[in-house]
A and B are shown apart, each in its own frame.
Chain A
Amino acid sequence: MCDLGVSAGYGSGPSANLIDELLAEQRTLTAVERFSQWHDGGHASNRYSHLMPTGLPGKGEQYGFEVDLDCCTGCKACVSACHSLNGLDDDEAWRDVGLLLGGRGAEAYQQTVTTACHHCADPACLNGCPVGAYEKEADTGVVRHLDDQCIGCGYCVLKCPYDVPKYNPKLGIVRKCDMCVGRLRDGEAPACVQACPTSAISIRMVRLENLNFTAGTTMLPGAYDSSYTRPSTRYVTAKGMPSNTRPADANVMRLEHAHWPLIGMLVLTQMSVGMFAVLAALMLLGQAVAAPATAYGATALLVAGLGMSVLHLGRPLGAWRFFLGLRTSWMSREILAFSLLAGCAMLACGAVQLDRLVVPMTLLTALLGLAAVFTSAMIYVDTRRPFWEGELTHVKFFGSTLVLGLTAAAALTPGVALIGAALVARCVLIGWEQARNRQAYDDDECAWQPSARVLKLRLKWVREAREAVFMVTFVLSVLAMAGLAVVWCTMAVLIIAVIAQVLERYTFFVASMGLRMAGGYKS
């Protein structure tokens, strides 16, 4: 019988033996020897046979996901199953579940949306990849990512309008959904199809001719125009959708990745090109120039900028394959342009050193440099992010080039005209930018209004910092033009102007609001 006496004394004292026995018992695993003999049934793949086509796609066909929205009720098992059955990293899943909201009163509407790679007929990821790390399987149409070919540049992450490829910082590469194509070839259902308790996800045969969407067609509210990449996923519902349906995260002001190596690369290379361009222009105009300082300095900046761009790559050793993407990828073209530019800039330095062919070499470098800046801009324009549309991006990139080129020239060969020109250029550029931002913020029709909201409401500090910085350069430039501490003032203006462009480029990335499928309450 128990010691029921409620004495204040301690119990009988645990026997060390019992504790050891319990700990040993806790460490013994017995499930296998006791129970595993009862389980040897085959995989019940016929359970999913109605969710998969029989056989491989024929000519003019490919596999595609079909999602029956009327069956998708938000359990999100597909996400976990994809993670577990594909052995992904802890925080990695190739499916995501978003949410659409809409309606009013008794017709209030919410609909969860499961989404993965759409295995597009014209994949933006594949077209953007500089090294051919994507392939579209000829027979199945599955867009596969070749993990060992990937250099981790992350351009496909920017290119995909559905935010599908995800960068894995631990591995230094991108990974993405392959529709479990190995399972499909074995007659098994993909992980997500297997896992859906309500059979909302299936694999269907898709006729490629049905993927020739007219402009303006979207898979779902909030999704990007299907005529761009021609996604093969089909969302079906018999219930229809209220006209005011929108993604649940439509008003979320997301801050995107800053990509500091790219900020550094863009600012430094554009400054370098600007210096060559202003040098060439001054030479052509017959002005006095500090040719050696400008050429050596600009080349050093160029090399530093290109060095920074390498820091952006997860696996830079494979970057030599960049030429594989030249046909479709602006990233490949940019690498080519800057490689040529680097060579040309060094030759220009040699020309300056030898004082032979200085003007033609400087002019050639400047022209090649402007072409390289153009490829830089096109990298972003080609992502179709509204904030990175052509006019904005080109004006910003060539504006930086001009502003930094003039400001550098003003520091290296100080003169009232150059200092003044640089000041006016900075003033015009920031004035133009702020006017465009204000306009976009007020214009509900403007495609990049969400970015303008981010700039105004979440990145206010950057705007204020840039205004303050501009005022400082204004005062210093005026002092320099008045002849006060000219060298110190112009050098200070140059350093501050570089910082201002770094801030501008920070907002360029952070406020870019990437394209994606509807998200949920999270984010």
Chain B
Amino acid sequence: MIPDLTQQTGPLTERLVREPGAFGLGQVPSRLKPDATAHLVCGFCATGCSLTAHLREGEAINLSPNGNYPVNLAMACPKGWEALTPLDALDRGTAPLLNGEPVDWAVAADTFVGRMKAIIAEHGPEAVAVLSTGQIVTEEMAFLGAFAKFGMRLRHIDSNTRQCMATAAVAYKQSFGFDAPPYSYADFEQSDVLVFVGSNPCIAHPIMWQRVMMNSRSPTIIVVDPRRTETAMAATHHFAIQPKSDLVLLYGLAHLLIQRGAVDEAFIQASTSGYEELAMFLTAFDPARVSRATGLSVERLEGFADMIGSGKCVSFWWTMGVNQGHESTRTAQAIINLALMTGNIGKPGTGANSITGQCNAMGSRLFGNATNLLGGHDPGNDAHRAKVAAVLGIDAALIDRELGLAYDQIIEGIAAGRIKALWVLATNPSHSWIDSEACNRALEKLEFLVVQDMYPTTDTARRAHLYLPAAGWGEKDGTFINAERRIGLVKKVRRAPGLALSDFNILRLLAHVWGCDEMFQAWTSPEAVFEILKQLTRGQPCDITGIEGYEMIERERGIQWPLPKSDRVELKTERRLFEDGRFYHPDGRAKFLFDEPRALPEPADDAFPFVLLTGRGSSAQWHTNTRTAKSEVLRMLYPQQCYVEVHPDDASSLRLADRARVSVASRRACVEATVVITACVQRGQVYMPMHYEEVNRLTFAAFDPHSRQPSYKACAVRIGEAKR
């Protein structure tokens, strides 16, 4: 038989044939056609996009964004599209590892309990600490917090959310009386003026930026950032301030607004306290001083204030540029102050809005049992302790009145030898903690390091004495709470590899071996725990007793807190807080809080003449790249080697060629990076993305005194020739 001259079809052509996928998916590759679908909230950032898993016999074979969810409106960033890929990585943990050797769960659990109890017996419960995460479901966080504090009787539990939103949590709590981001994403679409401070949503939260682009009012978009970021490019106005001069800028703007009478006296009178003191304090921030500190001209400062003053609906948004600073809590509160004094809160298109980092940072804030008592309660409050004890069915005496150490104090305690054992879950301090070489020197001192993670290959897990293999996102059930307070579902659409268990199941096992069966007898499934969490929130600002259960969350396409039982009838899809002008302090008022700005902890000097800024590299990378590095598609979207952005003038005075390898040195370490010459960084500043392990070896360990969040955003470095 003579073959056709032109082969239009055949086995290779068939590999790429597409056909209608049903389930509202449109065309899909024929070989990946699903027989069912299930929606689940993404496990990367706090945007909380819903993703549709394409299932075959119950198992996810492909994935696309959910077209019917109020958060993401059929869109996802590249990480979301690739969310299933990290589950298939060849280096997934498939068995517990004791000193690197595979063991079964019985040995692992016995070892965990035996070693922990022995260390507690010898050194007391303060010798053991836990570092948790914003990456697991709320029910697991609550289980971990309850088991660690009430079961194991530990005092020190903190989480990697300390690195991303501790500042926002503390700022809200102090200003509003409760940690309550007030907005819904609809506010992006309803503003006339949007002010982004230290925030680059174009690549850090692209699906939130989608909502900005859907704003049909031709809004004024203002970006405050030392770099000319993607978002700065897309904005209508960019204020490229000097690093960490944001607090002075915000005070200066407040001062100008008061001078212009562009404040909402009625709202200030009715709903706030501390305004006179603030106004007095602000008189010191005259435009000339602010201009010197920020590098912006007085005219530009006045123009900035005018845009805020004349805007009808002004919303303020901040991210890590604010949260990760040495005076971050007051900076966040300076933003809150601007919203309060101009009455831009509680109305559509307004608010002082923290864009949170991790998928379940908000769950951790309410239910981590670390920086407060389960459900946002105050452990120092007798009534709160009694309430929590009653819901959990435990003795109130098991609940400490005081909170334990913060992350940095835990690392310091390890370095000082006071803390002997550490249990790390789904986070990677060896890479992510500030001044990471010092952190790693401390970790070396531990008698017992337990790491519970999807991968035994993270920088931290490789140091572990005991590694516990965890199921990942998509391999378990539970809920996440997103940045707009929306509770969404995560579902089990994949089988975990080998012996890997969900964090929930690992906790059930460890609690059983520890001897806590009775305490946790009701904690049988994530949904059973969700019921407990609901009861804990009764009467709190985050009351969710009106949520019937997982089915209702599914039906309503996610539910924002609060939803008290009585509110069930008027459930709206998008709700904001403070529409009645009442806040959560006992007097119902929001507080104006402020402090004198402080100098950069480590400014540039003759020896280290550049300020190193750090942050997100691309939308295809997530934090320490543990998961995003597993996807070949994502790896195609960012450089594999660490790089440093340098201004053209600095490059020519240092005679650096574009793409040359150089050394970047701080007082703590010296690393290598590839030079990228771009005018998008200012002279005297360089930028490196946090996803490369090298970068935090350089950073300087300074902390905000209120939130104890590390100041990742500025330290002093010098650039030299690469060693070779």
Given A14-B509, A76-B78, A199-B213, do A2 and B640 touch, yes or no (CB 8 Å)?
Answer: no
Q: How far is the CB of A436 from chain B (nearest CB, A)?
A: 24
Q: Which residue of B74, B125, B509 is within 8 Å of A44 (Cβ)?
A: B74
A290-330 to B contact mask, C-beta < 8 Å, 1/0: 00000000000000000000000000001001001000000
Cα–Cα, bound, A411→B634 (Å): 55
Cα–Cα, bound, A111→B505 (Å): 47
Given A11-B114, A22-B509, do A521 and B63 touch, yes or no (CB 8 Å)?
Answer: no
Chain B residues closer than 8 Å to A251, beta-carbon distance: 657-659
Q: How far is the CB of A336 from chain B (nearest CB, A)?
A: 17
Chain A residues closer than 8 Å to B37, beta-carbon distance: 36, 39
Asked whether, in the complex, the Cβ of A522 is within 8 Å of the Cβ of B636, the reply is yes
Chain B residues closer than 8 Å to A389, beta-carbon distance: none
Asked whether, in the complex, the Cβ of B637 is within 8 Å of the Cβ of A522, the reply is yes
Q: Which residue of A45, A85, A109 is within 8 Å of B679 (Cβ)?
A: A109
Q: Which residue of A14, A23, A87, A112 is within 8 Å of B501 (Cβ)?
A: A23
Asked whether, in the complex, the Cβ of B233 is within 8 Å of the Cβ of A146, the reply is no
Residue picked from A34, A87, A196, most chain B C-beta under 10 Å:
A87
Given A23-B501, A45-B26, A87-B31, do A29 and B495 touch, yes or no (CB 8 Å)?
Answer: yes
Residue picked from B475, B491, B519, B657, most chain A C-beta under 10 Å:
B491
Residue picked from A22, A75, A149, A520, most chain B C-beta under 10 Å:
A75
Q: Identify the closest chain A residue to B203 (Cβ).
A: A74
Cα–Cα, bound, A312→B495 (Å): 42
A-B pairs under 8 A by CB, number: 335
Cα–Cα, bound, A479→B75 (Å): 74
Chain B residues closer than 8 Å to A90, beta-carbon distance: 632-633
Q: Does B240 contact A (CB under 8 A)?
A: yes
Asked whether, in the complex, the Cβ of B638 is within 8 Å of the Cβ of A521, the reply is yes
Interface residues of B in 173-210 (CB under 8 A from A): 202-203, 206-207, 209-210
A83-99 to B contact mask, C-beta < 8 Å, 1/0: 11111101111001100
Chain A residues closer than 8 Å to B471, beta-carbon distance: 26
Interface residues of A in 151-197 (CB under 8 A from B): 171, 173, 175, 180, 182-183, 186, 188, 194-197
Chain B residues closer than 8 Å to A106, beta-carbon distance: 238, 240
Cα–Cα, bound, A199→B214 (Å): 10
Q: Does A464 contact B (CB under 8 A)?
A: no
Q: Does B449 contact A (CB under 8 A)?
A: no
Asked whether, in the complex, the Cβ of B110 is within 8 Å of the Cβ of A522, the reply is no
Chain A residues closer than 8 Å to B202, beta-carbon distance: 73-75
Asked whether, in the complex, the Cβ of B512 is within 8 Å of the Cβ of A18, the reply is yes
Q: Does A495 contact B (CB under 8 A)?
A: no
Residue picked from B32, B80, B515, B638, most chain A C-beta under 10 Å:
B515
Q: Does B105 contact A (CB under 8 A)?
A: yes
Cα–Cα, bound, A194→B31 (Å): 21
Q: Does A243 contact B (CB under 8 A)?
A: no
Residue picked from A7, A12, A41, A523, most chain B C-beta under 10 Å:
A12
B101-128 to A contact mask, C-beta < 8 Å, 1/0: 0001110011001100110111001000
Asked whether, in the complex, the Cβ of B16 is within 8 Å of the Cβ of A86, the reply is yes
Given A31-B53, A110-B233, do A321 and B206 touch, yes or no (CB 8 Å)?
Answer: no
Residue picked from B78, B122, B638, B678, most chain A C-beta under 10 Å:
B78
Q: Does B259 contact A (CB under 8 A)?
A: no
Cα–Cα, bound, A183→B55 (Å): 22
Asked whether, in the complex, the Cβ of B620 is within 8 Å of the Cβ of A76, the reply is yes
Which of B3-11, B338-346, B414-422, B664-672 lies at the binding interface? B3-11
A37-79 to B contact mask, C-beta < 8 Å, 1/0: 0111111110100000000000000000000001101111101
Q: Identify the closest chain A residue to B33 (Cβ).
A: A87
Cα–Cα, bound, A73→B73 (Å): 18
Q: How far is the CB of A86 from chain B (nearest CB, A)?
A: 6
Q: Identify the closest chain A residue to B114 (Cβ).
A: A10
Q: How far is the CB of A140 from chain B (nearest CB, A)?
A: 16
Q: Does B27 contact A (CB under 8 A)?
A: yes
A: number of interface residues (CB 8 Å): 104
Chain A residues closer than 8 Å to B680, beta-carbon distance: 101, 108-110
B: number of interface residues (CB 8 Å): 129
Chain A residues closer than 8 Å to B77, beta-carbon distance: 75-77, 80, 197
Chain B residues closer than 8 Å to A520, beta-carbon distance: 637-639
Q: Does A4 contact B (CB under 8 A)?
A: yes
Chain A residues closer than 8 Å to B509, beta-carbon distance: 14, 18-19, 22
Asked whether, in the complex, the Cβ of A8 is within 8 Å of the Cβ of B117, the reply is yes
Residue picked from A73, A91, A324, most chain B C-beta under 10 Å:
A73
Q: How far is the CB of A446 from chain B (nearest CB, A)?
A: 19
Q: Does B234 contact A (CB under 8 A)?
A: yes
Q: Does B619 contact A (CB under 8 A)?
A: yes
Q: Does B62 contact A (CB under 8 A)?
A: yes
Interface residues of A in 478-523 (CB under 8 A from B): 520-523
Interface residues of B in 1-40 (CB under 8 A from A): 5-13, 15-16, 18, 20, 23-29, 31-32, 36-40
Asked whether, in the complex, the Cβ of B493 is within 8 Å of the Cβ of A148, the reply is no
Asked whether, in the complex, the Cβ of B117 is within 8 Å of the Cβ of A148, the reply is no
Cα–Cα, bound, A105→B683 (Å): 9
Cα–Cα, bound, A183→B518 (Å): 57
Cα–Cα, bound, A318→B658 (Å): 45
Q: Does B555 contact A (CB under 8 A)?
A: yes
Asked whether, in the complex, the Cβ of B13 is within 8 Å of the Cβ of A146, the reply is yes
Cα–Cα, bound, A186→B26 (Å): 9
Asked whether, in the complex, the Cβ of A40 is within 8 Å of the Cβ of B110, the reply is no
Cα–Cα, bound, A8→B116 (Å): 9
Chain B residues closer than 8 Å to A195, beta-carbon distance: 65, 75-76, 81
Cα–Cα, bound, A250→B678 (Å): 12
Q: Does A13 contact B (CB under 8 A)?
A: yes
Q: Identify the closest chain B residue to A22 (Cβ).
A: B505
Q: Which residue of B203, B493, B554 is within 8 Å of A29 (Cβ)?
A: B493
Q: Does A103 contact B (CB under 8 A)?
A: yes
Chain B residues closer than 8 Å to A173, beta-carbon distance: 12
Asked whether, in the complex, the Cβ of A148 is within 8 Å of the Cβ of B203, the reply is no
Chain A residues closer than 8 Å to B496, beta-carbon distance: 26-27
Asked whether, in the complex, the Cβ of B633 is within 8 Å of the Cβ of A93, the reply is yes
Asked whether, in the complex, the Cβ of A43 is within 8 Å of the Cβ of B67, the reply is yes
Chain B residues closer than 8 Å to A76, beta-carbon distance: 77-78, 618-620, 637
Q: How far is the CB of B99 from chain A (nearest CB, A)?
A: 18
Q: How far is the CB of A93 from chain B (nearest CB, A)?
A: 6
Cα–Cα, bound, A288→B77 (Å): 74
Q: Which residue of A13, A47, A97 is within 8 Å of B637 (Cβ)?
A: A97
Chain A residues closer than 8 Å to B508, beta-carbon distance: 18, 22
Q: Does A238 contact B (CB under 8 A)?
A: no
Asked whether, in the complex, the Cβ of A111 is within 8 Å of the Cβ of B233, the reply is yes
Chain A residues closer than 8 Å to B499, beta-carbon distance: 23
Residue picked from A148, A250, A252, most chain B C-beta under 10 Å:
A148
Chain A residues closer than 8 Å to B40, beta-carbon distance: 31
Q: Which residue of B15, B59, B203 is within 8 Å of A75 (Cβ)?
A: B203
Q: Identify the closest chain A residue to B238 (Cβ).
A: A106
Interface CB pairs A-B, < 8 A, 28 = A10-B113, A10-B114, A16-B106, A22-B505, A22-B508, A23-B105, A23-B501, A29-B59, A35-B39, A39-B68, A43-B25, A47-B73, A73-B230, A74-B618, A75-B77, A75-B619, A76-B618, A77-B80, A80-B633, A87-B32, A90-B633, A106-B238, A109-B233, A146-B6, A175-B16, A197-B75, A197-B206, A521-B638
Which 5 A-B pairs have CB atoms at the shortest separation, nearest pair first? Answer: A87-B29, A148-B10, A3-B515, A80-B81, A75-B206
B contact set with A: CB distance below 8 Å: 5-13, 15-16, 18, 20, 23-29, 31-32, 36-40, 52-53, 55, 58-59, 62-65, 67-68, 73-78, 80-82, 104-106, 109-110, 113-114, 117-118, 120-122, 125, 150-153, 202-203, 206-207, 209-210, 213, 228, 230-231, 233-234, 238, 240, 395, 471, 475-477, 489, 491-496, 499-502, 505, 508-509, 512-516, 518-519, 550-551, 554-555, 618-620, 632-634, 636-640, 643, 648, 657-659, 676-680
* 12 further interface pairs, Cβ-Cβ under 8 Å (given A36-B36, A42-B24): A10-B113, A11-B110, A31-B38, A47-B73, A77-B76, A85-B29, A86-B18, A91-B636, A110-B678, A197-B209, A520-B639, A522-B637
